A and B are shown apart, each in its own frame.
Chain A
């Protein structure tokens, strides 16, 4: 007897699919280069904002969005691989993949902020560091893409495996938020999304992106680091 249970809240689902769009677009625009390079920066900013949101939502979101709900501790992993794990949210192996994906994307967004392409692109925080360091981070930015491709491949392969072998559709719940669960797990349904945590998470995420690109963040930090601000530098370098 299985019961339809609400597992993924709507901000989490929206986050997931926006992240798919942002990452695919960032990849495509980054590969294309040229006139698409600025768009690569915009999509990268969207990824950054989404990651900040997800980080906060991992603490204040609904039950199965929280890191404590799915953090792959050793006992949970052992239980999972012995076939004894029971739960409604991410299983421990899936949780490892989630954290690896989020961490890799954070590394990409982080290096991207300081990157340059030696053509006409400079990340919004490029001016805070040496050119040599920026060159190194730019190199790593591209290397990390290979890691991301591997993880995305694994993610998709796992979904296909669950679909075909375990007869468990993982895509539909990420669209509807609902899973068919054994009656024993049905009480693990999530409560409706609370407004205040959502508003605060969105506010912090949006202001992070805005301050990174808006220059105020740079203007604030630059005197502390003893370097010229981006806007002042742009004038003198011409």
Chain B
């Protein structure tokens, strides 16, 4: 009887572990995709509002800012940084530092600022003034750096 219980417990444990492993990899994959998509949009804003002002296209920049705000507000931080997600492999190995789980409060604060600045950028971009967009984009970029410095492993 005891043996059967143990076997069931072990089997259940194994199933849970497999499910969790899949979930961990999903979380990493989704968040890596989110940042990659963010990068596509930040590059457009940087190029058009800052580096090559002659290419400035109000609608494209506004669309990029909407996309960034969309990702920022989608719950990436709350939903895709579960326990164990510092170890797994998504599209490639995660660069999340294991210390993340002790520094969650600090990261949470940066994330809140990130969302605030992304929302503000969305507003400013709708206005279509390249100088204002550039300035607000700088504030947003600083929040990205804040998190990279805190919880991302250096290559």
Contacts and interface: CB of A to CB of B under 8 A. Distances in A.
Contacts of A120: 42-43, 45-46, 50, 137, 141
B52 A234 contact: yes
Nearest to A38: B50
Contacts of A34: 138-142, 145
Interface residues of A, number: 21
B61 to A, nearest CB: 11
Interface string A125-139: 000000010011011
A36 B60 CA distance: 24
Interface in B84-134: 134
Report the interface size class on chain B: 20 to 34
Summarize A's interface: helix, strand, loop or mixed.
helix
A149 interface: no
B148 interface: yes
A86 to B, nearest CB: 46
A233 to B, nearest CB: 11
Contacts of A136: 155
Contacts of B47: 234, 238
B154 A143 contact: yes
A32 B149 CA distance: 11
Contacts of B145: 33-34, 117, 119
Nearest to A36: B138
Nearest to B134: A35
Contacts of B135: 35
B89 to A, nearest CB: 15
B83 interface: no
A135 B155 CA distance: 6
Nearest to B117: A34
A238 B48 CA distance: 10
B43 A238 contact: yes
A189 B43 CA distance: 54
Interface of A: 32-38, 117-120, 132, 135-136, 138-139, 142-143, 234, 237-238
Given A34-B138, A238-B44, 14 more contacts: A33-B145, A34-B145, A35-B139, A35-B141, A36-B138, A37-B141, A118-B35, A118-B144, A119-B39, A120-B46, A120-B137, A135-B155, A138-B155, A234-B52
Interface of B: 35, 39, 42-47, 50, 52, 60, 134-135, 137-142, 144-146, 148, 154-155
Q: Which 3 residue pairs across A and B have the least CB separation, nearest first?
A: A35-B138, A34-B142, A33-B145
5 contacts: A35-B137, A35-B139, A37-B141, A117-B148, A118-B148
